[in-house]
A and B are shown apart, each in its own frame.
Chain A
Amino acid sequence: DTGVSQNPRHKITKRGQNVTFRCDPISEHNRLYWYRQTLGQGPEFLTYFQNEAQLEKSRLLSDRFSAERPKGSFSTLEIQRTEQGDSAMYLCASSSGTSGIFANEQYFGPGTRLTVT
C-alpha cells in the first residue's frame, strides 16, 4: 500500500504526559499537512510543510504542539503536557506541490485517535 500511513492508530495517555505521532506521506509528495478532527466537526488545519520547511501554523497550534519533518520525508507531531481538550483525531495528509498558492487535492492517512484521561 502506497498511501499515507500514521502511527500509532490509537493513543491513550494521562493528562500532563507527552505524546508523539508519526506520519509517512506518499513518497513522491513534497507537501505534508496535519489536521485535527473532533466529534461532529470537519478536519481543522494545524500546520503545513513543503519539503522540510514548516511554512504555516494555525492559531490552534499552541506552544505545546510542535511538528517536524526532517529531510522532507516523514513527519512527527508532538504534544507536550497533554490536556483533556487535546483529545481528538489527528490526521495527516500529503499532496504533490505546484507553484500555485491554493491547495491541491490532499490524500489523507487513517489518523491517530488521541484520548487524554
Chain B
Amino acid sequence: AQSVSQHNHHVILSEAASLELGCNYSYGGTVNLFWYVQYPGQHLQLLLKYFSGDPLVKGIKGFEAEFIKSKFSFNLRKPSVQWSDTAEYFCAVAGFQKLVFGTGTRLLVSP
C-alpha cells in the first residue's frame, strides 16, 4: 500500500526566506503526486500535481515541486515566502481511486 512521509511537522520562517518541505512516498510504480494547502479557516486546495513528464512542476502562488524517482521524493519549494503562505501543507500520492496523505507540515511565516 502507498504511504507518504512528511518529515517536517512544524516550520517557522521569516518573510523572504526560502522554503523546502520534504515529502517521501513508498510506492515504486507509476505515481501521481500532489501538494495541497490548507490556509487558516479554509478548505484544502490543490497547489500542484505531477502525473508524468517534466519532473519539475510549477503550481500556484510561486510554488514548485521536484519529482525525484530515485529518491522517492516530491519536495515542495518556494524561493521567497510571504506571510500569506502561513498554512498547513499536505503531500499526497494517488492510490487506487483515492489519495493517501502525509501528516502535513504547519508553516508559520513571520513578517
Contact = CB atoms under 8 A, between A and B. Distances in A.
Interface stretch (B11-19, B67-75, B89-97): B89-97
Nearest to A40: B103
Contact of B104 (A3, A42, A102): A42
Given A105-B49, A108-B44, A48 B103 contact: no
B95 A103 contact: yes
Nearest to A31: B97
B43 A48 contact: no
Contacts, number: 68
A89 to B, nearest CB: 10
- Interface range for A: 20 to 34
A103 B98 contact: yes
A111 interface: yes
Interface string A94-110: 00000001111111111
B103 A41 contact: yes
Contacts of B46: 105-107
Interface string A34-50: 00000011111100101
Given A41-B103, A41-B104, A102-B32, A56 B98 contact: yes
B60 to A, nearest CB: 13
Given A41-B104, A42-B103, A105-B46, A48 B90 contact: no
Contact of B95 (A4, A43, A102, A105): A102
A59 B51 CA distance: 28
Given A102-B95, A103-B32, A103-B94, A45 B43 contact: no
Which of B44, B98, B104 has the most CB atoms of chain A within a 10 A radius of its CB?
A: B98
Interface of A: 3-4, 31, 33, 40-45, 48, 50, 55-56, 91, 93, 101-111
